[in-house]
Amino acid sequence: MEIHEAQTVLEPAKTLPVCAKVDVAVVGAGPAGMMAALAAAEDGLKVALIENRGFVGGNLTIGLPILGFLSQKGKPIIAGLPQKLIDRLKARNAAGPHQACPLHVSLTLIEPEAVKAVGLEMLAERGVDLMLNTMFCGVLMDGNRIGALIVESKSGREAIFADLIIDGTGDGDVAFQSGVPCEKGSEQGKMQPPTLMFCLGGVDTERLRMSLANEPETYDADFIPAGYFGQNRRFIVVGLRKLITQARAEGFVIPNERTIIISGLREGEVWINMTRVKGIDGTESRSLTAGEIETRGQIDDLFRYLVGYVPGFEKAFVSKVAPFLGIRETRRIVGQYTMTGDDIRNCCRFDDAIAVGSYPIDLHSPDGNDCKLEWCGDCYDIPYRSLVPQQVENLLVAGRSISTTHEAMAAIRVMSTCMAMGEAAGRAAKMCIREKVSPVDLDVHKLQKEMLNCGAYLRSQPE
């Protein structure tokens, strides 16, 4: 066959070096994966953490505030290791308080660069074998168990042996490669659009918040009463729809119905969550590339819009762009239990709760430029069974790709909840190794007791 007609090639089998032999391998060092590795390594197990970027933190490093440390009733619902990370950041003046927000339940501002440093520090203290710039790309199956993970890096293709694996990739990469049934997006397969965050310096945030507080007719915010801005120096504003309409009429291309500004921790700094591109599949390289290019191209007009129309931005400049395109949604595993939108709406309690969430269903329209929010008024549990995949015996999943529907994912995806799930998965993995059982057979009440002893928050005390 002529080379230009070939659609596939046959790669010859080759012998791979084994680069690590561990008890637990965690793939992905985002909010879920980092907490999972820290929890699993707590009392001396050998734990490897595999991350394809050159730093840890995942979406904790792209300029987002952490949402959901507090419940809709204002109560702290995330404690344990996630709170320890915040305490370390606070000690460096790199995290704000958990602040109630009428729209986002609660926000905790963090300094992205400090997350990378503090994350490394905590992982080193626990002796986690960290492999940066290393991409998980496949598995060797041994019946229903993952026999080895295959990774690729500058060192080439290598294998890792682990008794238990935690998938913290956000995309369910390990689950998918090992044959766990997975779903993507809505029933029509449509996924929430990605956003490339960017940061501006030189913003007069006092002028901005006073305009929001004193001229709500002109500077209209969604849901958040004007008085909130008068009382809080740090805030997220979502809205200014009238300004967008005006700017569009004057020729600006704005890919979002809402102006979304997150005040930073540093004086004059704000993060902008407004680029957006539809139809991107974050599990496909060509699609991701198109998303990176399109969103970067949107920054110029958005910047000019902010400077020209929004009070306080007159002297602003673009100081940095997030290190990668933020992906809201890709794969979700089908696990032992699939959380639904109604579980969130009904504030469901589960006997096997391993974390508590309270963030609303926050669905960014895959087709349009807007967003739908649904509050349930209180908290809901995250059941352990949603972290346990079907089919594969030595795998747990934590983070946004646990077993949920498209709707439920839009609530449990916030980083505080992902961190709490990560801690649970890490502790569960450790218990599975110590007790020589599979995740599906783990005594969840024992896990709950361990979690509570270690400072995590759960609503019910196990018997």
Chain positions contacting ligand FAD, by CB under 6 A: 27-33, 50-53, 58-59, 64-67, 135-136, 168-171, 173, 194-195, 273, 326-328, 399-400, 413-415, 418
- Shortest CB 274 distance to ligand FAD, Å: 10
Q: How far is the CB of 37 from ligand FAD (least distance, A)?
A: 11
**Long-range interactions of 452-455: CB distance < 8 A, separation 24+:** 454/39, 454/42, 454/80, 454/81, 454/423, 454/427, 455/79, 455/80, 455/83
State the residue for tokens 């995740």: 439
DSSP single-letter state for residue 221: B
Q: Which is nearer to ligand FAD, 213 or 333 (CB)?
A: 333
Indicate the residue whose CB is closest to ligand FAD: 30
Q: Are strands 18-27 and 47-50 parallel, antiparallel or unpaired?
A: parallel
Distances (CA, A) of 37 to 105, 219, 312: 28, 44, 42
Long-range contacts of 246-253 (CB under 8 A, 24+ apart): 246/309, 247/305, 247/308, 247/309, 252/301, 252/304, 252/305, 253/298, 253/301
Least distance between ligand FAD and beta carbon 433 (Å):
22
How many other C-beta atoms are found inside a 10 Å radius of the C-beta of residue 47? 30
Beta carbon nearer to ligand FAD, 59 or 403: 59
C-beta of 100 vs 210, nearer to ligand FAD: 100
Closer to ligand FAD at the Cβ: 88 or 400? 400
Q: Which is nearer to ligand FAD, 30 or 426 (CB)?
A: 30
205: Cβ–Cβ under 8 A, 6 or more apart, which residues? Answer: 233, 263, 268, 270, 312
- Report in angstroms how near the CB of residue 21 gets to ligand FAD at its nearest: 19
CA-CA distance, 280 to 71, in Å (whole number)?
32
Closer to ligand FAD at the Cβ: 273 or 404? 273
Alpha carbon distance 173, 58 (integer Å):
15
Q: Compute the least distance from the CB of residue 205 to ligand FAD, in Å.
A: 17
In the bound state with ligand FAD, the residue whose beta carbon lies nearer, of 138 and 462, is 138
**Cβ 66 to ligand FAD shortest distance, Å:** 5
Contacts of 424 (CB under 8 A, 6+ apart): 39, 354, 355, 382, 384, 387, 398, 447, 451, 456
Written as six digits, the tokens of 111 are 């300094």
Of 162, 142, 45, 143, residue with least CA distance to 151: 162
Q: Which is nearer to ligand FAD, 414 or 444 (CB)?
A: 414
Smallest separation, CB 442 to ligand FAD (Å):
21
Residue 272 Cβ vs ligand FAD, minimum distance, rounded to whole Å? 11
Shortest distance in whole angstroms from residue 449 CB to ligand FAD: 25
Minimum distance, C-beta of residue 365 to ligand FAD, in the bound complex (Å): 14
Rounded CA separation 451/463 (Å): 14
Residue 282 or 311 having the CB closest to ligand FAD: 282
Nearest 10 degrees: CA dihedral of 25, 31, 35, 36? Answer: -30
Q: Which is nearer to ligand FAD, 166 or 433 (CB)?
A: 166
Contact between residue 191 and residue 310 where contact means Cβ atoms under 8 Å apart: no
Q: Which residues pair with 139 in a beta bridge?
A: 149
User: Between β-strands 156-167 and 18-27, what pairing exists: parallel, antiparallel or unpaired?
Assistant: parallel
